[in-house]
Chain A
Amino acid sequence: MNRGFTLAEVAVASVIILAVLATLGIALLSFVRGSRSLELQDGALTLARVEFAEMERAELFPEPGITTRPDSMWGNFYTVETTVIDYTENTYDVTVAVSAGDSVSIELSRRFYEYN
């Protein structure tokens, strides 16, 4: 008769455990969402870097203007937008923006010089 916990004890303990579990749930959810977003951003960053590396390797730069193309990385789909503007008579500013939906976007810039 005297063994066990009272209703009040159980109630207080349950509230604490529930509150803590809820916090953990939220943290887990946030971690999973964050990981997914990071994975997308990682892919976007890799695509942007590859885009510049390809331009430098081939020594070929796009014409002034905006070009857009779809691409994929690690099973995720992206839009790669390359903007080329004449910064001065002899220089071109190239900006590569890689996005996946509305939430993820990476933007990198590089300036190229014409030597002739």
Chain B
Amino acid sequence: MSRVSGLTTLSIAGLLLTAAGCSDFQSSFAPSKRTLALIPEAQSGVGTTPGVTPLVDEKFGNPQHLKAWKKLPVEWGGVTSSVAEYVAGDKPVIRLTADETTPFPVRAGRLVLTSGDGAGKSYEISDWNAEKGEATLASAPEVAPAAGDNCTLDPGNLLQSGRVLYMRHCSHCHGTAGDGNGPTAQYLYPRPRDYRNGIFKFTSTIDSSRATRDDLLRVLKYGIPGTYMPSFLLMKDEELEALVEYVRFLAMRGEYEQKLVSELAADFSSKALETRLQSESRQDIVQELADFLKDDMPETAETAGDELAETWTTAEAEESKVVPSVPRVPDSPESRRRGRELYLGKALNCANCHGIDGAGNGPQTIAFEKNPLTDELYPEAGLHDIWGNLNQPRNLQTGIFRGGRRPIDVFNRIYAGIKGSSMPAFKNTPHEDIWHVVNYVLSLQFESETGAVGEAPAETVAAAAADSQN
């Protein structure tokens, strides 16, 4: 009896606490570890001159109030159109010019004028007629829109929905700022991706390029086998598109922060301060920082934005895509044997990391290495990636290929390397040789004993025979 009435009290208390506790929750983008390693004045600024954190917030905002920096190649959302006619009255109506190529969106909640006398004004739409493109405004505009004024419907709505979806589906692993350190991240191996240096491992682009939207979409749709990244194929296309844009937004935000910090890290980190205080006064150092922030930082920030725009736009271009110059060499015992020769050979040296039988246990995995950026030994033996995580060379015998198991996926991994990891780009190896290695690698999971390059399945051999006769 008393146990059950206790339950009642508990449930009512829980309901009240839920109501009370959620009311002023504000999430924020946490500064990166490297930002926090700077002296406080470099992080927040000196006097009225902003430091790293205010500079990043100025261009990207916080999760409640995002800022869309038009310089960045991100699809913010919103449909552009122009005013065809404005009818004033109790219920002012703006009719938009119809466009044969782009139909009006099904829903519209807000209209923003982008040219004319009322440029910049934003109006709430109380009723939207999608066939005619007529927006009934909730309140009368102060300046009457003229025919020919440009406007946008729901600007930024893709970013908005991206953020809401991201927080619901992604943030528990990938973190609010995309730092790969959400609440569940500590239980996962491998760790979720930290987007903040703009590097994504599994791409279809050359080694010096960023990931394309398609690459990110592939990862979302099919997940990463062998890791905790699931497939989100059940989500609608618009939702996936919104998520891809938001992830790119977070990646650019992280890169921007990193670029600003790298200008200051050498001279104004806490560690540097310790050594500098031996010969200089803190006041002088802060003055030097203030001068730098005022004179040089604004230009650096604009250049950083330009660089982001360039790298992320180039990633989508044709020249960034990996295109084998030779069509895929069909799978055959000869190709696999040649692949095995190359795998063990000195030119490619795959066995060094991946092991003689592809088990991911090559000699490189037991060597203690130093972190080149900090010049300190890593805590555990083996290779490490740029996120500082242990980077096991893939065990090729399992048949689990994280970046995808299509032959072109394995080709991309070899040709362009795996960005951010210790897998280098083999871009000067003849493409035909790479296909041989691809065939060998894809066959490893079926080998019953090491080095036994087995026969190809009967249908493949027959198909190869038929092809060669054509």
Co-complex (A, B): no
